[in-house]
Structure 1
Amino acid sequence: MEQMKANVLLDAKGLACPMPIVKTKKIMNTMEAGQVLEVQATDKGSKADLKAWAERTGHQYLGTLEEGPVLKHYLRKASGEETIERKHPHVVTNAELANKLTEATSIVVLDVREAAEYAFNHIPNAVSIPLGELENRMHELNKNDEIFVVCRTGNRSDLAAQKLTENGFTHVVNVIPGMSQWSGKTTSVTN
């Protein structure tokens, strides 16, 4: 295969979410419109994360090449008119979700972290659909349910909440800061 050409290279190997996106955003701010960024990462979730981030901000996700354990993501910087980073408008804190869970209301907690993250620590009865699978698995959710979306830090869940809303889900809420600071009940494969 022909070697891909990029204007800028970002080494994000060994970093976990949200750091590949944080570093991508920072370096993208220094680039000129139309330039291509190659992000090298080892975090398997980075493919879905970077693709969703690019869609949300207006930058162009070109694709990902796998070379052993390294994922090489290619993104094209958009011009100023193309970039508008959106955030999901409906947000609750971890404490607010914990209170909701103690009430008798019927809610759905959707965990969009990778399957391994979910397996080792998740909110009891949470539905696991990793962000990268959400597009193909939305049919598993009811569009009229009240859905609280969680991830590790609130970034992937923000992208997932936007995607659900764009697809006709009416009661979607992003939970921040997410599982990285969750102090409520959890369940895992080890207990």
Structure 2
Amino acid sequence: MSAYTVDKTLDCKGLSCPMPIVRTKKAVEEMKAGEVLEIVATDPGSVADVKSWAIRTGHQFLGTVEEDGTFKHYIRKADPEEAKPEKKHPDIVSNDELQSKLMEQPVILDVREPMEYAFGHIPGAKLIPFSQLEERLAELAPHKDEEIYVVCRTGNRSDMACQLLTEKGFKQAKNVMPGMLGWEGPIEKQANN
């Protein structure tokens, strides 16, 4: 990425969602408009998370480079008049509310990475990593008018997924909070193939 100058580098190696975004927000707040932030992360979920956050908040997402399992994300801070306040998806359900509906076999969408899903997911949950959601929306089309319970590890990635689904016409997307980090209901695990 030598085509431009990096003004600040943020080390997020070893951190998982939501910490790379939490630290990115803080770092961007401390920068001047037009400056470039490099975020170095090892969480594969950061690829979609950083891009989505930058776009939603009006900052310019410049791109991501992957090198040996490390992701380097580049964001240029927007001018104050270009920046947008970060919004949250309004339709939220608790883990307990979702757990009480499991007997009804609701549509559950897990937007975590495949490895996270393999180590434990809600029975019946469909895996579509957030980074693939837009290109795989057709898989959810039969459920466009149904409630879709969207889950991730902490509720952040699922919030972004709910916003995307709503923009694409899925009117009943529900963000499950606080997500798998606080899930006390039944869990399925995938065998290692």
TM-score band (shorter)?
over 0.9
The alignment of Structure 1 onto Structure 2 pairs a total of residues equal to: 189
Query: In 2, Cα distance between the equivalents of 1:178 and 1:189?
Result: 19
Partner of 1:117: 116
Contact 1:6–1:38 (Cα < 8 Å) also in 2: yes
In the alignment, structure 1 residue 63 sits paired with structure 2 residue 63 = yes
| Deviation of the 1:69 alpha carbon | 2.2
Question: Which has the larger displacement, 153-162 or 136-145?
Answer: 136-145
Unpaired runs of 5+ residues, structure 1, are none
Post-superposition Cα deviations, 1:128-147, rounded to whole Å, max 9, x if no partner, equal 00000001001100211210
C-alpha change, 1:12 and 1:4, in structure 2 (3 Å) is farther
* TM-score normalised by structure 1 residue count: 0.94
Residue in 2 that maps onto 1:158: 159
Normalised by the length of structure 2, the TM-score is: 0.93
Q: Distance in 1 between matches of 2:98 and 2:113?
A: 21
Query: How far apart are 1:80 and its partner, in Å?
Result: 2.4
1:2-37: CA deviation from partner (whole Å, max 9, x where unpaired): 454211110111111111111101111111112110
Q: How far is 1:115 from its partner?
A: 0.6
Checking the alignment, whether the CA contact within 8 Å between 1:113 and 1:152 is kept in structure 2 is: yes
Q: CA deviation digits over 1:117-136, x for unaligned, max 9?
A: 00110000001000000010
Q: In structure 2, the residue corresponding to 1:79 is in which secondary structure?
A: coil
Q: Deviations over 1:70-126 (max 9, x none)?
A: 211001111223221010010011111111223x3x521000000110011000000
Identity of aligned residues (%): 57
Residue 182 of structure 1: CA displacement?
Answer: 0.1
Once residues 100 and 19 of structure 1 are traced to their aligned partners in structure 2, the CA distance between those partners, rounded to angstroms, is 30
Provide the residue aligned with 1:96 in structure 2. Answer: 97
Aligned twin of 2:53: 53
Structure 2 residues not aligned, in runs of 5+: none
Distance 1:79 1:170 in 2: 33
In 2, are the aligned partners of 1:56 and 1:159 still within 8 Å (CA)? no
Change (3 A) 1:4 1:70: farther
CA distance in structure 2 between the aligned counterparts of 1:128 and 1:79, rounded to whole angstroms = 37
Residue 151 of structure 1 contacts residue 178 of structure 1 at CA under 8 Å; is this kept in 2?
A: yes
- Alpha carbon RMSD of aligned pairs, Å? 1.5
Q: Distance in 2 between matches of 1:24 and 1:113?
A: 20
Q: Does the residue aligned with 2:65 lie in a helix, a strand or coil?
A: strand
Question: Do 1:121 and 1:186's aligned partners in 2 also have CA atoms closer than 8 Å?
Answer: yes
1:125 counterpart SS class: coil
1: CA distance between counterparts of 2:173 and 2:8? 37
Classify the secondary structure of the residue corresponding to 2:133: helix
Report deviation, 1:149: 0.3
Change (3 A) 1:178 1:13: same
DSSP-derived class of the 1:20 partner: helix
SS of residue paired to 2:87? coil
- Match in the other structure for 1:7: 7
DSSP-derived class of the 1:11 partner: strand
